[in-house]
Amino acid sequence: MRHAPLLLGAILIFALDLHAQVNPNYSLPEVSVSQAAISSPSLMNPPGAGRFALANITPSAFAAAEPAADPQPQQGPLGVFRNYSWGFYGGYSFFRFYISSKPEAVSNMNGLDFGVVYYPHAGWIGIEGQGVFEFGSYLGDSSFALLSGGARFRWSAPREAEFWGHGLVGYSKFIPQTAMGGQNAFGFEAGAGVDLGSHRKRFAIRFEGDLVGTRYFSTYQYSPRFAAGIIYKY
């Protein structure tokens, strides 16, 4: 019986070895599929896998399965200005009227001018109508009015500026009646200006300079006019 402990120990070792073979432990370090495929392609492509080999799966395939992020809103190209089709203007006007060739026949007049312009398809060529009303003190109380229409051309520039030029023809009237001739005459106006703060905005400040041509008393008059005001675009 003195060999019994040795026999019992051998049986116990044999039993433990048999249990390990029946219940093997295959625990492996936690490695993602994509990392395993990259580090060891042979693990993902066992023999006999054929054309369905997992090694053909690239990391981009796993990325494609992730939900796509919400697309960001697209912004319009920089430097594109919004052009409106309609413009309504009103402002102050200074008019130096050279009535005749005599040095004393000059009247400095102050008044108002109003205008409207329409650009078909919001383009750069428009149709314009304008009314100018001036008041002075030549021979007492005097006044001058010009109603005209024509074409306007515009060009959008940097720094919130829009340059333009126009040419108008129409009908003018000068008061008072004088012994030199009638009160009505053909008139025209040509000039240019700039609208400041006009890009993507409805209101802008206008500055303009014009040459007003008339024919009174059998004489041609060429008189400068300067104006400043507010334009509303629609």
Q: What is the pLDDT of residues 155-200, one digit of tens each?
A: 988 888 999 999 999 999 999 887 777 889 999 999 999 999 866 6
Q: Which amino acid is at 118?
A: Y
Instruction: Confirm whether 133 is domain-assigned.
Output: yes
How high is the pLDDT of residue 62? 45
What is the four-CA torsion angle of 168, 131, 137, 107, rounded to 10 degrees?
Answer: -20
What is the per-residue pLDDT for 140?
85
Residues 58 and 149 grouped into a single domain: no
Q: What pLDDT was estimated at residue 149? A: 98
Whether 81 is in a domain gets the answer no
Span of 18-22, 88-92, 145-149, 196-200 with lowest mean pLDDT: 18-22
In a domain? residue 4: no
Please count the structural domains in the chain.
Answer: 2
Are both 55 and 95 inside the same structural domain?
A: no
Question: Please, which pLDDT band fits residue 53 given cuts at 50, 70 and 90?
Answer: very low
Tokens for 77?
């190209």
Of residues 59 and 151, the one with the higher pLDDT is: 151
- CA dihedral (98, 102, 103, 109) in degrees, to 10, reads -30
Which residues are CB-contacts of 172 (< 8 A; sequence separation ≥ 6)? Answer: 144, 145, 146, 147, 184, 185, 186, 187, 214
Whole-prediction pTM value? Answer: 0.63
Sorted by sequence, the CB contacts under 8 Å of residue 16 that are 6+ apart come out as none
What average pLDDT is seen over the chain?
Answer: 77
Q: Residue 129 in 3-state DSSP? A: strand
Distance CA 42, CA 60 (A): 19
Instruction: Kindly state whether residues 91 and 133 are assigned to the same domain.
Output: yes
Residue 47: domain span = 32-64
43 and 153 housed in the same domain: no
93 and 126 part of one domain: yes
Q: In the prediction, which pLDDT does 11 show?
A: 54
The verdict on 54 and 126 lying in the same domain is no
The count of other CB atoms within 10 Å of the CB of residue 86 is 13
CATH number of the domain encompassing residue 199: 2.40.160.20
Cα 31 off chain centre by: 52
* Residues 92 and 41 placed together within one structural domain of the fold: no
Average pLDDT on 119-135 reads 95
| Amino acid code (one letter) for 150 | G
Output the six-digit token pair for 169.
Answer: 């023809």
Do residue 199 and residue 158 come from a single domain?
yes
Q: Say if 131 falls within a structural domain.
A: yes
Residue-level pLDDT at 64? 47
Same domain, 208 and 123: yes
